[in-house]
């Protein structure tokens, strides 16, 4: 299938497909005129890339999930580690959500007098509410 057919079936822009090919995430079969041609399996491969991105895997991490011939080489330990990171992010975000909801209805005269809000501020200053909650800190 040509690149425009892939774009129509997936909604992924041609520029992204070219970038993925440049990064080694996907491989075209060659060209027909000026257009790249792809195997029918490209749709599943792009779906896996999209799923991995949704789980906050970087493109470099995703590139390790495929061999040069497009076969899956998914590292199960890497999946478990990402799942643990997501679980940790859920915990942090739940704490933040609950604290903000409490602060919104708190009877204290000032948020700075609210013990729950003060705990949230302390967690923020200590980096426990790190904004990009899924990425590993190095």
pLDDT tens per residue across span 55-75: 999 999 998 887 656 566 778
Q: 38 and 1 in contact (C-beta within 8 Å)?
A: yes
Domain that holds residue 22: 3-63
Per the document, the length of the chain is 138
36, 2 Cβ separation under 8 angstroms: yes
pLDDT at site 11: 95
Answer yes or no: is 134 within a domain: no
- pLDDT grade, residue 134 (50/70/90)? very low
Residue 119 lies in a domain: yes
77 HSE (CA, 13 A, CB side):
1
The separation between the first and the last C-alpha atoms of the chain, rounded to the nearest angstrom, is 41
Q: What is the pLDDT of residue 136?
A: 45
pLDDT at residue number 119: 81
Query: Structural domain tally of the chain?
Result: 2
One domain, residues 55 and 91: no
In a domain, 57, yes or no: yes
Per-residue pLDDT, 113: 85
Of 88, 99, 98, 101, which Cα lies nearest the Cα of 128? 88
**Predicted local distance difference test score (pLDDT) of residue 133:** 44
CA separation for the pair 129, 51 (Å, rounded): 25
Q: Do 50 and 80 belong to one domain?
A: no
The answer to whether residues 39 and 72 touch, using CB atoms and an 8 Å cutoff, is no
Q: What CATH number is attached to the domain comprising 32?
A: 1.10.1660.10
């Amino acid at each position: 299938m040509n690149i425009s057919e892939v774009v129509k079936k997936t909604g992924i822009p041609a520029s992204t497909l070219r970038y993925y090919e440049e990064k080694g995430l996907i491989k075209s079969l060659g060209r027909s005129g000026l257009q790249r041609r792809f195997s029918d399996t490209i749709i599943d491969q792009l779906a896996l890339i999209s799923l991995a991105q949704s789980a906050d895997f970087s493109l470099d991490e995703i590139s390790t999930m495929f061999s040069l011939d497009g076969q899956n080489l998914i590292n199960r330990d890497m999946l478990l580690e990402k799942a643990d990171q997501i679980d940790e992010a859920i915990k942090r975000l739940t704490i933040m959500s609950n604290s903000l909801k409490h602060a919104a209805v708190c009877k204290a005269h000032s948020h700075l007098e609210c013990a729950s809000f003060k705990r949230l501020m302390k967690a923020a200053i200590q980096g426990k509410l790190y904004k990009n909650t899924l990425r590993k800190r190095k």
